[in-house]
Amino acid sequence: MAKAKTQVALVMGSDSDFPKLEGVVATFKEFGVGCEVRVMSAHRSPDAVAKFASGAEKRGLSVILAAAGGAAHLAGVIAGHTILPVIGIPIGGTALSGLDSLLSTVQMPAGIPVATVAVGSSGGTNAALLAVQILARSDAALAAKLRTYKKTMARKVAEKDRALQKKLN
């Protein structure tokens, strides 16, 4: 199987965030979407972040996911340097259980949009799925994979309901 073309990037503020984001990479693999994974800090390596973000479109990226905890300025800084869609993933585990990260990511000034997902592993998975949905708008094969994914989810829920009904009766 040929290596998937890299269309998305996952940037995290610290390598300690990666265990919480492994589902993002797994989701991209499931859909055959190539993903570049990087560690950069909006505060500790701002020049690297600016260079990465300003060159992302030219390198062929289509969507950037930015995950950070605490002050969580990474997604906003990236969005300030690119016209690509940026999806912010607030990381929990901070003193405020991720609420600080969520508010820092979602409260962007007008003109610098950052789509923001939930704190926690479901947020990372949803960020990856949102990126796949964006890509699928111009990729019929990817759109078909998403339709199958949704049907599979619905089938699994129906199976769980049948099992519960059987147990109750």
What gap in Å lies between CA 128 and CA 22, rounded to an integer?
11
Give the model's confidence band at 1: pLDDT under 50 very low, under 70 low, under 90 confident, else very high. Answer: very low
Condensed to tens digits (0 to 9), the pLDDT of residues 2-44 reads: 466 889 999 999 999 999 999 999 999 999 999 999 999 999 9
DSSP result, 129-144: HHHHHHHHTT-HHHHH
For 163, the token pair is 């099992």
Tens of pLDDT, residues 74-100: 999 999 999 999 999 999 887 788 899
Whether this prediction's pTM lies above 0.95 is answered by no
Q: Which residues contact residue 89 at a Cβ distance below 8 angstroms, ignoring those fewer than 6 apart?
A: 21, 24, 65, 66, 67, 68, 75, 105, 117, 123, 124, 127
Delimit the domains of the chain by residue range: 6-138, 141-169
CATH class of the domain defined by 6-138? alpha beta
115-116: strand order across its sheet: 34-39, 6-12, 63-68, 86-90, 115-116
> Which stretches of the chain are assigned E, i.e. beta strand?
6-12, 34-39, 63-68, 86-90, 115-116
Of 15, 11, 14, 70, whose CA–CA distance to 35 is shortest? 11
Q: What is the pLDDT of residues 135-160, one digit of tens each?
A: 999 999 999 999 999 999 999 999 99
Place of tokens 């519960």: 164
Spatial separation of the C-alpha atoms in residues 31 and 150, rounded to whole Å: 13
Task: Give the integer Cα–Cα distance in Å for 72 and 99.
Answer: 10
